[in-house]
């Protein structure tokens, strides 16, 4: 069994954990993980790591992501999507015009403060927020800074709007849908969500479970090809063993926390440069 990533097109109605278990069965291996959790009702790109690739999942955390979201106007729920309980409803409301909505969307571009939904996997005092929310515990979600690079209005109909978002890590589209409604003084909730991209993982090149079964190991993407957002450092082949054994190599280069280390055309792992010394952070065995 080889190592690598799979660009999975996760179907709606399945948790990210369920998707991992499905891939485990296909490849008959326990070493499977995923990068960037998708809500059960969301679909689209879910990077899956196989075997040694699981060690490199953390380096996908900083990748930008793209989504297509449909926002439903007129109701809001406790979870921020249609899985939740309706907590507010508006009758005979005025739908925003294209110009009104575009003006609101523009105000969210840049670095903004966002409160994640209570029905999320964020840890609160060591426990997942959604576990506390399901048990009706009272708690506050800490606000966080997130970056939204762009928002585009794709479609507007009688009670919903479809938008496409490019954003940084930690952005919750459910929270964005709620915040858009608040700016318009309307209850809103997320109706549908498709993840279009995670870094270089693109929906157009994603695979279904049936396709993964068909292609098997041939659908695995090389680990180094999935980390192209990290700069490359070419290591002298005479220092390969030192790097793999955790020994420092003196280099004439500025400090860098995350580097793809290549030597002789071979990917060795992730390294860092501190005060003129290159050291390994994660290696391929």
**Catalytic machinery residues:** 39
Q: 264 and 241 in contact (C-beta within 8 Å)? A: no
How many C-beta neighbours within 10 Å does residue 234 have?
11
Measured CA to CA, the distance from residue 190 to residue 41 in angstroms comes to 10
Diameter over CA atoms, the chain:
73
Contact assessment for residue 277 and residue 251, using Cβ atoms and an 8 Å cutoff:
yes
Beta bridge pairs of residue 264: none
d(CA 285, CA 280): 12
Of 229, 282, 285, 242, nearest to 56 (Cα)?
A: 282
Spatial contact of 272 and 279, defined as CB atoms under 8 Å apart = yes
Cα 41 from Cα 48, distance rounded (Å): 18
d(CA 156, CA 79) in angstroms, rounded, equals: 23
Residues 6+ apart with CB under 8 A from 271: 233, 235, 243, 259, 261, 278, 279, 280, 281
Residues 6 or more apart whose Cβ sits within 8 Å of residue 58: none
DSSP letter string, 158-171 = SSEEEEEEEE-TT-
Whether the CB-CB separation of 203 and 193 falls below 8 Å is answered with no
Residue 282 to residue 285: CA distance in whole angstroms: 9
């Amino acid at each position: 069994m080889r190592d690598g990533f799979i660009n999975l097109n996760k179907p709606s109605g399945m948790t990210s954990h369920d998707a991992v278990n499905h891939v485990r069965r296909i490849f008959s291996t326990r070493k499977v993980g995923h990068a960037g959790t998708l809500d059960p009702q969301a679909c689209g790109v879910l990077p899956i790591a196989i075997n040694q690739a699981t060690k490199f999942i953390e380096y996908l955390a900083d990748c930008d992501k793209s989504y297509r979201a449909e926002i439903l106007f007129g109701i809001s729920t406790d979870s921020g999507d249609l899985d939740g309980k309706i907590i507010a409803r508006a009758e005979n409301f005025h739908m925003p015009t294209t110009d009104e909505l575009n003006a609101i969307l523009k105000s969210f571009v840049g670095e903004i403060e966002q409160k994640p939904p209570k029905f999320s996997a964020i840890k609160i005092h060591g426990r997942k927020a959604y576990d506390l929310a399901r048990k009706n515990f009272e708690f506050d979600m800490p606000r966080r800074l997130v970056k939204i690079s762009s928002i585009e209005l794709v479609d507007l109909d009688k009670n919903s709007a479809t938008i496409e978002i490019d954003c940084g890590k930690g952005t919750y589209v459910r929270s964005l849908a709620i915040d858009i409604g608040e700016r318009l003084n309307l209850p809103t909730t997320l109706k549908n969500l498709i993840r279009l991209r995670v870094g270089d993982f693109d929906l157009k090149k994603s695979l279904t479970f049936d396709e993964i079964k068909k292609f098997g190991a041939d659908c695995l993407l090389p680990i180094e090809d999935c980390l192209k957002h990290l700069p490359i450092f070419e290591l002298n082949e005479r220092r390969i063993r030192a790097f793999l054994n955790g020994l420092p190599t003196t280099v004439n280069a500025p400090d860098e926390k995350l580097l793809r280390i290549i030597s002789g055309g071979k990917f060795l792992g992730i390294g860092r440069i501190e005060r003129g010394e290159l050291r390994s952070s994660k290696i391929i065995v």
